[in-house]
Amino acid sequence: MTGFRTLNKAGQAQKEVKNSIFIANAIPVDNEEEARSFVSTIKERHQDANHNVSAYLINRDNVLAMKYDDDGEPAGSSGKPVFKILEMKELSNVAVVVTRYFGGIKLGFGGLARAYREAAIEAIENAGIIEVTEKSVVKIESEYSDMDTVSRFAQQYGTILKTDYTEVVSFTVEVDSDSRDAFQEKLINITRNRVTII
């Protein structure tokens, strides 16, 4: 299936671990620019925090961008565990920032990794995970006599975005990319080859 898993909406979570406060924010993003902008916004909002650890993973339109940043925490103790959650949950087009207000008690490498990981998981769960299916647009021209048949069939398979009435009826239909070929083939069959697919 052509598609990916991402977040339904923005999610937030807050945890306290040995007096340190961890605030996690997770959002769906469309590209790396959006991810960077989100990281900057959270850093600005929590500029008084000790650390703003971030991770994002974008995989769209043949562009793969991934990054994580420990933001001053011991190398590999925070950004990487947050990034690993994105990989483990098979998420794409997601950015996460976990802010830490230090509470005076050191957590150690393992404790840090666990706290950042758990805060990130909670924010992701609060955002909700959805499956996004890639779409294709198909343009169809039909005679007026086949208009109802084409319209009914197109609505079963997808969404009619636009209909134009000229000498022929032109439909612009959005369907799941996976079922595009089957849709076109069946449409040709049910109209006995009286449609033109552009």
Of 109, 132, 155, at which residue does a domain stop?
132
Q: Which of 139, 136, 135 is nearest to 197 (CA)?
A: 139
The backbone torsions φ and ψ at residue 177, rounded to the nearest 5 degrees and listed phi first, read -55, -35
> Do 149 and 128 fall within a single domain?
no
Taking the model in full, what pTM does it have?
0.75
What pLDDT score does 31 carry?
93
pLDDT tens digits, 42-89: 999 999 999 999 999 998 777 889 999 999 999 999 999 999 999 999
pLDDT tens digits, 16-35: 999 999 999 999 999 999 99
Please compute Rg for the chain using Cα positions: 24
> Do 31 and 124 fall within a single domain?
yes
pLDDT tens digits, 152-176: 999 998 999 999 999 999 999 999 8
> Do 142 and 100 fall within a single domain?
no
Of 132, 155, 176, at which residue does a domain stop?
132
User: How many angstroms separate the CA atoms of 57 and 48, rounded?
Assistant: 26
Which residue range(s) make up the domain with 36?
A: 3-132
Q: What CATH number does the domain containing 150 carry?
A: 3.30.70.240
The DSSP line for 36-52 is: HHHHHHHHHHTTTSSEE
> Do 112 and 141 fall within a single domain?
no
